[in-house]
Amino acid sequence: MTTTDKLIRFTYIALLILALAAPMLGLYPVFVMKLLCFAIFAAAFNLLLGFTGLLSFGHAAFFGSAAYVTGWFIKSQNFTPELGVLAGAVAAGLIGLVVGAVAIRRQGIYFAMITLAIAQMVYFVCLQAPFTGGEDGLQGVPRGELFGLLSLKSANAMYYVVLAVFVGCFLAISRIVHSPFGQVLKMIRENEPRAISLGYNVDRYKLLAFVLSATLAGLAGSLKTLVMGFATLSDVHWSMSGEVILMTLLGGVGTFFGPVLGAGIVISLQNLLADKVGSWVTVIIGVIFVICVLAFRKGVVGELQAYLERRRRAAANPDA
């Protein structure tokens, strides 16, 4: 194990300890839970963009539709929270299967535009459907009891459930990327014609990656509804797709921790500046994004990893 790998592992362990101790350190649990939900969302998007090379402009469709499905099942059908979250994730996966089947045979801007167009259709459905609450959204979604045993009304109990789901998703994405399936995805990203020449069914691999990304994005939306107690049109609006792209690019595309850091930066800025500058928070985040693109093209984590790699090579070959 290299020094860089040891440093990364130590950083993950330190962050996990910090996350476990967050409620005792006085951090607002609802804010941290919201951050974790969007971190899952960004990590799911990064699985598609960073490791498969597919840019989707419609990931809000999966995030928002799962939020509505979970809220409706829990509030109107009296589902338990675990079943409501599962229903939302499954619904997002099914929508991802349909969207992917339509869009996956296109590449580049055509793929992105198809995902955006279908996402706008999902937004219109959420606006007009009777069970979504229209412009008011679904309000007052109860947290209920997990498996009928653990009450989620307590902010701390809800926090540790969200943290456990986040850690599980992070480990699952890591396992997917390091698996033979993940290596094929990377090959498709780097050189799709070569993958085809080697006999891989590229469309099937891309479709599976798309469905996995959509399902994880839906899981993030379902958890967000459970944490916040509501689902609104902003969850499925095109601007939400823009936010997750911003989070991923800001933290570092193709890195594991980059989307998590990007989500933390964006959500923290929104929380800190919303009351002070109002709608100008979007402009400020945009300026930060432009500066990041100009100064850190690989994202914060990507540039840090590149720097550590240069240091490692310099130490291994001082004469060079």
Tokens of 225: 């509804």
| Sequence-distant (≥ 6) Cβ neighbours of residue 155 within 8 angstroms | 23, 29, 30
pLDDT, tens only, 221-236: 999 999 999 999 999 9
Nearest to 58 by CA among 95, 28, 94, 16: 95
Helix axes 238-251, 108-128, angle to 10 degrees: 130
Q: Which 3 state secondary structure label does DSSP give 220?
A: helix
Answer for the pair 270, 281: CB distance below 8 angstroms, yes or no: yes
In this structure, is the dihedral angle defined by the CA atoms of residues 162, 165, 171 and 177, taken in order, positive or negative?
A: negative
Tokens of 115: 């995902």
Q: Residue 147 has what pLDDT?
A: 83
Instruction: Collect the ranges in the chain with pLDDT lower than 50.
Output: none
Tokens of 245: 């792209």
Q: Which 3 state secondary structure label does DSSP give 199?
A: coil
Helix axes 202-228, 81-103, angle to 10 degrees: 150
Residue corresponding to tokens 């219109």:
124
Q: How far is CA 170 from CA 39, 40, 43, 58, in A?
A: 9, 8, 8, 22
Q: Residue 168 has what pLDDT?
A: 94
Would you identify the CATH topology of the domain 3-316? Answer: ABC transporter involved in vitamin B12 uptake, BtuC (1.10.3470)
Distance CA 42, CA 65 (A): 16
Nearest to 66 by CA among 103, 93, 97, 36: 93
Q: How far is CA 172 from CA 104, 168, 175, 182, in A?
A: 23, 6, 5, 12
| In the chain, domain spans | 3-316
